[in-house]
Structure 1
């Protein structure tokens, strides 16, 4: 069993703690060459981001991914063990282990910088599709943008539903990000590596719905 999560756009490098080298060094170098040769105005337009001068695609300053990412999911992670079962998907690095080194990059799967040779970023990273082929199952706690990088017939997506003001159950972005972090932490800390035991998890009043779930999508509703 492995768990996949998304990266975050926001990062912090106030604590520099060097870890391991990334898995896909050659492919990352390919993207680095493209991005470092782009002028600032083109990069701003591509990323829809003004502060491109703060970015670093050359890894001059880097730290462990689990410490560098600072988005809502990562702020709510509290993993005490089984870190080797967690993988972070990235448009720039492909697949990251929590202790792999990353720099202050910015790149999403919809930023198609490989269009001269590939259809899109998913095609560029197609060797990742079967990275987890030998796993019995994958728990998908990533966004749809990133989970599409992984092709595994035994992937289980977990969704969280909460009532809106109209009393209708919907997926709420902020709440989902927090619950993804809490579920990730709980599964790893409690050694929950069985599909059926995952269904029994009850966190923050979110409970598994047998009625609305499928074999590949586990839906949790806040009661």
Structure 2
């Protein structure tokens, strides 16, 4: 079983004593994108990513200083670097070596710049959401840039076992599902509010992090075991069809 999650815009780039690390699979493709981003001005980045001038300047410096080699001196393990809503619900600071090893085998992180990451892959700081319309040699956006590469990489990792989709729609759209050789299960998290169950963005992100943490800590390799997930008072309600499993609270 392979679990797929989104990256985060927020990064923690502080140094860590954890030295176990791996290299991103698509470094050549990443450097191709970096070469495009290096040519962008602060104004270009503001318009491209709809961000403030300060954020645009920060990311212009990041791309300007981007290195061809990924080492602990200029990079950090993806699972330790990302710090968004999903990741704040993962107890990565207290994971055991065995839990990191399980995650390395069973977890993948989608990324606009890196394509698909293993948890311990070294990444340099960046900002490049998958949905951005970045013109490139393969097309008008990052979905066209990555094409079938991500699905093929997931196939290699899953080896036909189920894929648990805990990524956002923006990111999972980068996976050409028709190319996958695995069944895809997408947990959907809803809150009971105003007399009905509904998806609330922030809570859904946090729930995806909680379930990822649950999978890693319990070494889950069978989707059926997800039905006992009860972190944050969620509980399994029903199989809604089309691979969607509903969890409510």
Same fold flag (TM > 0.5): yes
Distance in 2 (alpha carbons) for counterparts of 1:41 and 1:191: 46
1:21 maps onto 2:42 in alignment: no
CA contact (8 A) 1:59 1:102 kept: no
Shift, 1:198, TM fit: 1.6
Distance in 2 (alpha carbons) for counterparts of 1:116 and 1:108: 18
Q: 1:198 aligns with which of 226, 231, 241?
A: 226
Shift, 1:116, TM fit: 5.3
Higher mean C-alpha displacement, 126-135 vs 83-92: 126-135
Q: TM-score, normalised by structure 1?
A: 0.91
Q: 1:59 aligns with which of 50, 56, 66?
A: 66
The correspondence of residues 60-79 of structure 1 with structure 2, limited to 5 A, is 60=67, 61-79=74-92
CA contact (8 A) 1:4 1:86 kept: yes
Label 1:205 to 1:167 Cα distance change in 2 as closer, same or farther (>3 A). same
What is the number of residues matched between the two proteins?
220
- Per the alignment, in what secondary structure is the counterpart of residue 224 of structure 2? helix
Shift, 1:108, TM fit: 1.1
Q: Which residue of 1 aligns with 2:162?
A: 137
The correspondence of residues 177-188 of structure 1 with structure 2, limited to 5 A, is 177-188=205-216
Q: Which residue of 1 aligns with 2:70?
A: none
- Per the alignment, in what secondary structure is the counterpart of residue 177 of structure 1? helix
1:120 maps onto 2:141 in alignment: yes
Distance in 2 (alpha carbons) for counterparts of 1:103 and 1:130: 24
CA contact (8 A) 1:88 1:96 kept: yes
Contiguous gaps of at least 5 residues in structure 2: 68-73
Q: TM-score, normalised by structure 2?
A: 0.82
Contiguous gaps of at least 5 residues in structure 1: none
Distance in 1 (alpha carbons) for counterparts of 2:23 and 2:164: 24
Label 1:195 to 1:20 Cα distance change in 2 as closer, same or farther (>3 A). closer
CA contact (8 A) 1:2 1:135 kept: no
- Per the alignment, in what secondary structure is the counterpart of residue 203 of structure 2? helix
Q: Which residue of 1 aligns with 2:71?
A: none
Q: Which residue of 1 aligns with 2:191?
A: 162
Shift, 1:115, TM fit: 4.7
Q: Which residue of 1 aligns with 2:200?
A: 172
Q: Which residue of 2 aligns with 1:88?
A: 109
- Per the alignment, in what secondary structure is the counterpart of residue 241 of structure 2? coil
1:66-117 CA-to-partner distances (Å, cap 9, x unmatched) read 1211111111112531112111100010001111111221111221223554
- Per the alignment, in what secondary structure is the counterpart of residue 202 of structure 2? helix
